[in-house]
Structure 1
Amino acid sequence: MAFTDTLLRLQRLAHLIQRKSTGTPQELADKLGVSVRSVDNLLNTLRNFTEVEIEYCRERCSYCFAKPVKVSFDFIIPLDSGGDVRGGRKFISNFFVDAEFLRWEGAYL
């Protein structure tokens, strides 16, 4: 998956979890257009990055956040970037490390 595809899928995943409308893992995979294994990877990425607990509710047949959270996906683009596009594994790793400033008490991602 490309970096932007992953971010868009994480955004959609977080939105579906917040609405408690993910469905079963297979239904969620179909909604996101990925395999069930990729759903597991996306869930782990969201859990690790946000440090938010995500649970599966058998009654609702949906994943849900254990505690209320604010979900926000914003991109920060410097005005002096000159249209440069940066990417790659090292950039993505640095992006997630640098994104620590986006966390604040009571609200993640």
Structure 2
Amino acid sequence: MAFIDTFYQLERLAYLIQRKATGSPTELAAKLEVSPRTVHNLLEQLRNWGAEIAYCRERCSYYYVQPINLCFSVIQPAEDARKITGGRKNISSFLLDAEFLRWGGASLYC
């Protein structure tokens, strides 16, 4: 899977969780067009970034325990453009070095 695909899946997942419209894990996997294991990995990635995510059996949806505002963007300083030569491995390792910051108490920018 390409890095950009994962990025867009995380963005879509965050949106669905925000709206409390994920459905069951199986339904969520179908919405994102991925396997249930990939859904688990994507949820874990959001949790690693500081999002507190729980599952409501009544609503059959994931939700944020604490309100959070996620903003997904890739920011690359011009001087670093030459460091990325291409390929998923190179781009992923570059972005893993990026800082993911909390801003304004309830916001997570990545």
Q: What is the TM-score with the length of structure 1 in the denominator? A: 0.84
Runs of 4+ residues deviating >3 angstroms: 77-82, 84-88
Structure 1 residue aligned with 2:19: 19
Structure 1 residue 71 corresponds to structure 2 residue 79: no
Letter matched to residue 5 of structure 2: D
| Corresponding position of 1:53 | 52
> For residues 37-96 of structure 1, what are the alpha-carbon distances to aligned partners after superposition, in whole Å with 9 as ceiling and x for unaligned?
110011111111x211100001110000000001211222435648x7644335423413
**More strand, by proportion:** 2
* RMSD over equivalenced CA pairs, Å: 2.0
Structure 1: give runs of 5+ residues left out of the alignment: none
Normalised to the residue count of structure 2, the TM-score between the two structures is: 0.83
The change in CA–CA distance for 1:54 and 1:31 in structure 2 (over 3 A counts) is same
Structure with the higher fraction of residues in helix conformation: 1
Query: Could you say what secondary structure the match of 2:62 adopts?
Result: strand
